[in-house]
Chains A and B, each alone.
Chain A
């Protein structure tokens, strides 16, 4: 069961590494959006500290959003997806592999970048740690849920904007618990509960969303 997943992950990573500029542009989008906020709201450290969790998390949401259309689009265009759909392995498992690969090339770099950006917002060491942990736990859910939107809008005109209309409302729980975890650390109430719920969302998101995504892919391939 694990072999097809692993094969898909390795394949997608190899393809992504051949086009590193795609990964880089998503990361730079994240950096730019986060850096715009202090310019918009002013440089007072106290205010920035208060805004930081929300800003970083919303920027992570938008950056993930930006990388979603490519999740299936290339494979759809060159016919690989049709081959994958015909493979004896369940399409859901293949999608799971693609979701994991997507997280490795978008969610994980975002997570690693976040503490650096958090310093710009004058976050304390503890808050930075919780921010990183919350992104580490939460971004897989973003990739998982996002896959549904990417699959539904495959080959549809205006799919870039459409996918955000479909998926951003579904991201709200992840945003609430992710940003809430950092916020709770800042106010000293402890992030434990938020992180547990975030982990639950991530598990549910990663392991359940491949099936509706696979169903949506089959519809797109019909």
Chain B
């Protein structure tokens, strides 16, 4: 085994990653707070009203970041899953498991804020719009992933089965989105028209900052969760004992 490969395995081992994650978490929290305050300041205080949608459009600063994160987290999950299947890293399965609940939460938030946006804009809480429907299906995919992982007792098997499911899901997402879009245009024409107002730069900045905040938040929460998973799974190893003995609390 070459030195380089050995280092890789070391870095990917929970034992090495656990303290590293612990040191990174506060930084990601700080970044999330910073971006969040800046984004909300720009979005809710500075940005002018939208000519067509009034003040209700400000939900965009919450809705769009939540939707982006819900999709992005699934991709990241599939990436870790693929890595885990290809190289058999213990870390990657734990990362995928740690990301799923946060992704599901963002999918739910995307639906929730979408409904609250739809009511004043389109006059209805829910429309079977292609994007909304796909988001709902994405939530189902997350739920399936979480349910599968929690139903399998052996963590190794749970990781691998979850990885296959995540990869199958990621291949299917474009197909699902395309088919829902096709179905939607056939059934209801263009009753739903997102007002295509040319977005002012300041709005774009607000959205971007809020998205960054959600991104940093997701990393921080995923790291917190992965640390918890590591302790739980490796509780019989020496390093967890030493780690806990070192920690004062």
Contact = CB atoms under 8 A, between A and B. Distances in A.
A166 interface: yes
Contacts of B147: 162, 165-166
Interface string B170-192: 00100110111011001000000
B164 A170 contact: no
Interface string A110-127: 000000000000000000
A191 to B, nearest CB: 12
B151 A162 contact: yes
Contacts of B178: 173
Contact of B148 (A166, A170, A176): A166
B212 interface: no
A165 B144 contact: yes
A180 B175 CA distance: 16
A120 B78 CA distance: 45
Nearest to B160: A219
Contacts of A153: 148, 151
Given A162-B147, A165-B147, A176 B152 contact: no
Contact of B152 (A156, A173, A197, A215): A156
Contacts of B161: 152, 216, 219-220
A180 B183 contact: yes
Interface in A145-169: 148, 152-153, 156-159, 162, 165-166, 168-169
Contacts of B69: none
A37 to B, nearest CB: 19
B165 A152 contact: yes
The listed residue with most B CB atoms (<10 A of its CB), out of A158, A219, A222, is A219
B38 interface: no
A219 B157 contact: yes
Nearest to B171: A208
A177 interface: yes
Nearest to B183: A176
A38 interface: no
B141 A169 contact: yes
A152 B164 contact: yes
A215 B166 CA distance: 13
A173 B168 contact: no
A106 to B, nearest CB: 21
A172 interface: yes
Contacts of B164: 148, 152, 212, 215-216, 219
Contacts of B183: 176, 180
B116 interface: no
B137 A172 contact: yes
Contacts of B151: 153, 156-159, 162
Interface string A189-222: 0000000010001000000000010011001101
B26 to A, nearest CB: 37
B167 interface: yes
Contact of B157 (A170, A173, A201, A222): A222
B122 interface: no
B249 to A, nearest CB: 35
A152 B165 CA distance: 8
A183 B179 CA distance: 15
Contacts of A183: 186
Nearest to B134: A172
B160 A173 contact: no
B167 A172 contact: no
Contacts of A219: 157, 160-161, 164
B157 A176 contact: no
Given A216-B161, A216-B164, A173 B179 contact: yes
Chain A to chain B: the 4 pairs with minimum beta-carbon distance, closest first? A173-B179, A169-B140, A166-B144, A176-B183
Given A152-B165, A176-B183, 8 more contacts: A148-B164, A156-B151, A165-B143, A165-B148, A177-B179, A180-B183, A215-B85, A216-B164
29 contacts: A148-B164, A148-B168, A152-B161, A153-B151, A156-B148, A156-B151, A156-B152, A157-B151, A162-B148, A166-B147, A166-B148, A168-B140, A169-B140, A170-B169, A173-B172, A173-B179, A176-B180, A176-B182, A176-B183, A177-B182, A180-B186, A183-B186, A184-B186, A197-B182, A216-B161, A216-B164, A219-B164, A220-B157, A222-B156
